[in-house]
Amino acid sequence: MIRPAELIQRKRDGEELSAEELSELVLGYTRGEVPDYQMAAFCMAVFFRGLSRAETFALTDAMVRSGDTIDLGAALGRKVVDKHSTGGVGDKTSLAVGPIVAACGVPLGKMSGRGLGHTGGTLDKLEAIPGVRTELTLDEYVAQVREIGVAIIGQTGDLVPADKLLYGLRDVTATVDQPSLIAASIMSKKLAAGAQAIVLDVKVGDGAFMKSIEDARQLAETMIAIGRDAGREVVCLLTDMDQPLGAAVGNALEVREAFDTVRGDGPPDFTELVLDACAKLLALSDLGIDEAEGRRRAESAVADGSAVERWQRWIEAQGGTADESALPVAAVIHELRAPRAGYVSRLSAIRVGLAAVHLGAGRRTKEDEIDHAVGVVVRAKRGARVEEGDVLAEVHARTSSEAEVAAAEVLDAYEVQDAPVEERPVLLEVVT
């Protein structure tokens, strides 16, 4: 049996650990033989020292082997696709992409996680829908992808239990934004859940774990390498996260916005990213089409209502109420107004994200309960012209006092200038 303290010390001192050592550490932690405090210390050592490519793959492989795996392609007799984001503020993309891709005849199976730090988790958003189950058995997961064409589930005790444990630990020990740990977490879920082709959305900027395009590119290349070593097709989109994606930040608010987008009424930046991701997933599928045709088919599924129909079938299959009027609503809605006229030159994603966390939309400790109703809706984004007194954002809160505190935080996220602001696309780069 390895001595965890020895591995922590060696990694702290910059040594490279073997695949066997990393495997024993991860599997020991999963079995409860390595306590949280030692694994937290190991994550902090990795945060400062990093992992080599070989170590990163070994960590990912050990996390996959901590539980069951599934070959969705063999189970369905089809090529199954998946989409994942590294986490951002207002990023509800998977909720819209899944039913659109399924409506185009391509099965999508996805295993997701919960919120980390200021970023929202897909499972937390889904669970804002009354009745939704995210903990499906493997048999239920396979059956739903076969019958409905889309399933988004959490890590059950059988699938990647090591990542489920580490995910929550990293969130409360300031070890979230480390490239190898992010890559291992994401790719372990992708490999275990069984998709053959994966589109990864790597966020870049103020509200992302990767602050620079160079760091985002490094993370993308790391995940692509893990995927290739495991025999999977992987494409990475590097996308802007200097400001929130779309307008809604907060669980029920984001579900509403995702549904609006599936029926063709979403914000322009969010709609563009959703269609980009759909086009790439459809081009990677077994339909034998290129990206241009994939984009056309995704737009058609939204326009003819088949994506909405698939959304409703998906939500109901997981026990949820597809009627958006059933979503929880905050007791207080406070309008934040512009203190001066001009153009919005900056809207800090991380400040908006933290304001939402402080309202209760995210977790500050591992045990925190999510309030699905609260959050922020930004009404003026970067480049928008505003007049004094125009609504910049809405704060959805439990109490008036909480709303006022959050409104001050959101106001600090805004900068307004006299001159017009140059537009910047959501999609910055594609890495293959």
pLDDT tens track for 260-319: 999 999 999 999 999 999 999 999 999 999 999 999 999 999 999 999 999 999 999 999
Beta strands in 258-341 (DSSP E): 332-337
How far apart, in whole angstroms, are the C-alpha atoms of residue 300 and residue 287? 16
Q: What count of Cα atoms within 13 Å lies in the side-chain half-sphere of residue 67?
A: 24
How far apart, in whole angstroms, are the C-alpha atoms of residue 375 and residue 354? 10
The neighbouring-strand residues paired with 332 are 397
How far apart, in whole angstroms, are the C-alpha atoms of residue 324 and residue 166? 33
Let me know: does 252 contact 82? Beta carbons within 8 Å: no
- Secondary structure (3-state) at 344: strand
Q: Active-site residue 304, yes or no?
A: no
**Which of 170, 313, 372, 382 is labelled catalytic?**
170
pLDDT of residue 366: 60
Q: Which amino acid is at 61?
A: D
Residue ranges in 285-348 assigned as alpha helix (H):
291-303, 306-317
- Secondary structure (3-state) at 369: coil
DSSP state of 159: B
pTM: 0.89
Residue 225 Cα to chain centre, angstroms: 20
* pLDDT tens-place values along the chain, 432 residues long: 679 999 999 999 999 999 999 999 999 999 999 999 999 999 999 999 999 999 999 999 999 999 988 888 999 999 999 999 888 999 999 999 999 999 999 999 988 877 666 667 899 999 999 999 999 988 999 999 999 999 999 877 788 899 989 988 998 899 987 889 989 998 998 898 888 999 999 999 999 888 999 999 999 999 999 999 889 999 999 999 999 999 999 999 999 999 999 999 999 999 999 999 999 999 999 999 999 999 999 999 999 999 999 999 999 999 999 999 999 999 999 999 999 999 999 999 999 999 999 999 987 766 678 999 999 999 999 999 999 999 999 999 999 999 999 999 999 999 999 999 998 999 999 999
Burial 56-87 (b: 16+ CB within 10 A, else e): bbbbbbbbbbbbeebebbebbebbbbbbbbbb
pLDDT of residue 167: 84
Q: Active-site residue 170, yes or no?
A: yes
Of the candidates 206, 243, 236, 296, the one whose C-alpha atom is nearest the C-alpha of residue 426 is: 243
Pairing of strands 391-397, 375-378: antiparallel
Let me know: does 329 contact 252? Beta carbons within 8 Å: yes
Tokens of 428: 């910055």
Decide: residue 201, CB within 10 A, 0-12 exposed, 13-18 middle, 19+ buried.
buried
pLDDT of residue 1: 65
**Which of 11, 83, 84, 118 is labelled catalytic?**
84
Tokens of 352: 């908006």
Integer angstrom CA distances of residue 390 from 245, 352, 387: 21, 18, 6
Q: Which amino acid is at 355?
A: A
**Which of 23, 180, 185, 188 is labelled catalytic?**
185
pLDDT of residue 121: 85
Tokens of 421: 């602001």
- List Cβ neighbours of 362 (8 Å cut-off, separation of 6 or more): 115, 117, 118, 119, 120, 124, 353, 356, 368, 370
**Which of 61, 163, 206, 242 is labelled catalytic?**
163
How far apart, in whole angstroms, are the C-alpha atoms of residue 89 and residue 249? 6
**Which of 189, 232, 381, 382 is labelled catalytic?**
189
pLDDT of residue 118: 67
Tokens of 186: 């994401």
How far apart, in whole angstroms, are the C-alpha atoms of residue 415 and residue 423? 15
- List Cβ neighbours of 241 (8 Å cut-off, separation of 6 or more): 88, 89, 91, 203, 204, 205, 206, 207, 208, 349
How far apart, in whole angstroms, are the C-alpha atoms of residue 251 and residue 249? 7
pLDDT of residue 117: 62
Let me know: does 193 contact 112? Beta carbons within 8 Å: no
Tokens of 430: 């594609």
3-state helix, strand, coil in the chain (%, to 5): 45, 15, 35
pLDDT of residue 189: 86
Q: Active-site residue 185, yes or no?
A: yes
Beta strands in 205-323 (DSSP E): 233-240, 248-249
pLDDT of residue 10: 97
